[in-house]
Amino acid sequence: MDDVATRIEHTVLGPTTTPGDVQAVLDTAIETGMRACVPPYCVSMAAEYAPGVELTTVVGFPHGQHTTANKADEATALAEEGADELDVVANLGLLRAGEDESFRRDLAEVVAATTRPVKVIVEAPLLDEDEKHRAARLATEADAAYLKTATGFADGGATVADVELLSTYLPVKAAGGIDSWEQATAMFEAGAERIGASSGDAILEE
């Protein structure tokens, strides 16, 4: 159980998320040994409130179309405020336009801006097969530490097929629509190293 808990990032990232919501997620993480994924504006508070919890936050969320400079500055600031890992949203507009080098450079500058591990959210439900491979390859070339399937805010979420594909490039964090132990198990068996879920507590209870 302890091993499973450390592979789950108990997540609260909705548009109406309050500091109280974040503290509730952190309380559960403290109790169970899970990691936590919290909004950028709560990172400093979360690091002080729960110094023993491994904290992830998001960069360029939820669409990835911030300027590269803004993403890099955000990554630097959030690491300084206490984030242990950063999940950056890839700019799919660049990928869709065939601007692969700009896509790679956007991610590489975020990775270079911090010593923290960076996971790249490729938003796989929005991509065709070729785009998934290109996104994964370019994120790998940008020195990302992980690939993450989805933000959870676009249509569709994590699938076994996407985890299998992405895990041939880098370790994978499966996220988007995972709310049961059965689903989490399927993702682990497909090759996911981590699970991101707002139902992390329910998954553990199961």
Residue-wise pLDDT for 6-27, tens only, equals 999 999 999 999 999 999 999 9
Residue-wise pLDDT for 31-80, tens only, equals 999 999 999 999 999 999 999 999 999 999 999 999 999 999 999 999 99
- What is the domain-level CATH number for residue 135? 3.20.20.70
Buried b or exposed e, range 160-171, using 16+ CB within 10 angstroms: eebbebbbebbb
Q: Could you say which of 71, 106, 148, 201 is catalytic? A: 148
Our answer to whether residue 148 is catalytic in this structure is yes
The residues that bridge with 35 in the sheet, in sequence order, are 9
Q: Could you say which of 71, 87, 106, 162 is catalytic? A: 87
Our answer to whether residue 87 is catalytic in this structure is yes
Please say whether the beta carbons of 57 and 78 come within 8 A: yes
The residues that bridge with 38 in the sheet, in sequence order, are 57
Please say whether the beta carbons of 56 and 37 come within 8 A: yes
Please say whether the beta carbons of 37 and 11 come within 8 A: yes
Give the structural domain span for 16.
2-205
The structure tokens listed for 29 are 């993480």
Residue-wise pLDDT for 89-132, tens only, equals 999 999 999 999 999 999 999 999 999 999 999 999 999 999 99
pLDDT band of 1, cuts 50, 70, 90: very low
Residues 6+ apart with CB under 8 A from 91: 60, 64, 65, 102, 103, 106
The number of folded domains in the chain is 1
pTM of structure: 0.96
Q: Could you say which of 71, 132, 173, 201 is catalytic? A: 173
